[in-house]
Amino acid sequence: MAPTDVRSLVIPKSSMSSGQVSWRSPSNIALVKYWGKFGNQYPRNPSVSFTLSAAYTETTIQYKPREDYKKKLSISFQFDGRSMPTFEQRIEQYLIGLISQFNFLEQFDLDIQTRNSFPHSSGIASSASGMSALALCLCSIEDHFFQTLQEDQAFRTKASMTARLGSGSACRSIYAHAALWGETGAVDGASNEYAVSLESMLHPSFVAYQDAILLVSREEKSVSSSAGHGLMDHHPFASVRYEQANRNLQSALECLQHGDLERFVLLCEQEAMQLHALMMSSSPYYLLIKPNTLAIIQAVQSYRNETGIPICFTLDAGPNVHLLYPKENKDAVENFINDKLVNYCHQGAWIKDEMGLGPLQSL
Ligand code: DP6
């Protein structure tokens, strides 16, 4: 990407105007996990994810020329139409950190309205969809005033880089279908700074791949992702993990390219188990899976053995289970979930999701 001259992103007084911008950005589910980071939100190993569809955040920023310069930034923030001081503080810190790249942030009163398609207390991480939606809005404002991001690739690259600074996994949500983030020789243009699209290399077997998100618990996470990443710094298995993540990444890319579902299933499950094994063996250790998480895992393994359907599970940093399976098995798997697995879900709740087309700008 051509470097942007950051000093030029101050809007001349004569060009200042009010306006509004909105983006809907989806969540994503990692197959090879990002776990461990360094420096300014750089990943210790490359990761790969599927972009989702039904689980998304919608964010609108209204901006108007600022009159009062008492504070560094002037923002108001509402989540679902209500103020949320903890979110607001995080967003404010994030935006303050971005002023050197988006100088115009200081020139406006910003009113940020955001909502998720999934309930806040569902245990689904909202940072990937939330931070990517916000980053996309900032890039649209930049492009409106400076026309610096007219090309789709330049726009997405900057949006992905900006999203990464808010939450690492958010940088992958910028692309349709599937994305890779982190340095690796395996994919041209791969970078620690931003994610790249894997759309062009996906085998047709993965198109419209399904993701059923089984909500085992709706409790807030007991350990934030950032704290979890931090525990990798002195983890006894860290270097072995990063080597293995790189090998798994290579393997995942081969599966995605050749449509090797059998190997894909084993790989996804191994990655999920390893993520939680790392948490359970850190100091201090912590345990995020619940008895019902394990009950689902065992039921899924038996179902796969009985039916031959290439369904597999993966996990985020929490107890909820993502079931991944081909679209052609949708009906059979949904029956299985409704017959057997809803019993293990909190109040029977689960979300039907699938690979999606990436963020959408609303006019
Ligand atoms: C387990 O992106 O939430 O979901 O960069 O600190 O915001 P921060 O962490 P975050 O970590 C996600 C971890 C994961 C795996 C993944 O999505 O790759």
What number of other Cβ atoms are within 10 A of residue 16's Cβ? 15
**Does the C-beta of 40 come closer than 6 Å to ligand 1?**
no
Q: Are 304 and 310 in contact (CB under 8 A)?
A: yes
Does 362 fall in a domain? no
What average pLDDT does range 326-348 have in this prediction? 97
* Phi, psi at 141, each rounded to 5°: -65, -45
Residue 236 domain-assigned? Answer: yes
Is residue 268 in some structural domain?
A: yes
- Across the range 305-323, mean pLDDT stands at 97
Q: Pick from 175, 202, 229: which residue ends a domain?
A: 202
Please indicate, yes or no, whether residues 256 and 112 belong to a single structural domain of this protein: no
What domain count does the chain have? 2
> Cα of 33 to ligand 1 centre, how many Å?
8
Q: Are residues 126 and 249 in the same domain?
A: no
Structure tokens at 80: 């679902």
Task: Give the pTM.
Answer: 0.96
For 53-73, give one letter per residue: b (16+ CB within 10 A) or e.
Answer: bebbbbbbbbbbebeeeeeeb
Calculate the dihedral angle through the C-alpha atoms of 51, 54, 57, 58, rounding to the nearest 10 degrees.
120
Establish whether residue 167 lines the binding site of ligand 1, counting it when its CB lies within 6 angstroms of any ligand atom.
yes
Position 360 in a domain: no
Mean pLDDT (the chain) is 94
User: Is a pLDDT exceeding 80 seen at residue 16?
Assistant: yes
State pLDDT tens for residues 144-174: 999 999 999 999 999 999 999 999 999 999 9
Cβ burial, residue 32 (10 Å; 0-12/13-18/19+): buried
Residue after which a domain boundary falls, among 182, 202, 222: 202
pLDDT in tens, 189-248: 999 999 999 999 999 999 899 999 999 998 777 778 888 999 999 999 999 999 999 999
User: Per the structure block, which two tokens stand in for 45?
Assistant: 């190993």
- 83 and 131 co-located in one domain: yes
The partner residues of 64 in beta bridges, in order of sequence, read 109
At 121, the pLDDT band (50, 70, 90 cuts) reads low
Question: 315 CB under 6 A from ligand 1?
Answer: no
Residue 56, CA distances (Å) to 24, 159, 232 in order: 7, 16, 29
In a domain, 250, yes or no: yes
Q: What is the residue range of 299's domain?
A: 206-354
pLDDT tens by residue, 268-302: 999 999 999 999 999 999 999 999 999 999 999 99
Q: What local confidence, expressed as pLDDT, does residue 218 receive? A: 80
Q: In this structure, what CATH number is given to the domain that contains residue 270?
A: 3.30.70.890
Owner of token pair 């209500």: 82
Using the predicted structure, report yes or no on whether residue 2 has a pLDDT greater than 50: no
**Co-location of 50 and 181 in the same domain:** yes
Domain boundary among 202, 227, 248: 202
Query: Does residue 81 sit in the same domain as residue 193?
Result: yes
Mean pLDDT, rounded, for 326-353: 97
- 191: in domain: yes
Residue 1 counted as domain residue? no
> Residue 39: which region, alpha, beta or left (left: phi > 0; alpha: psi -120 to 50)?
left
Residue 30 CB–ligand 1 contact under 6 Å: yes
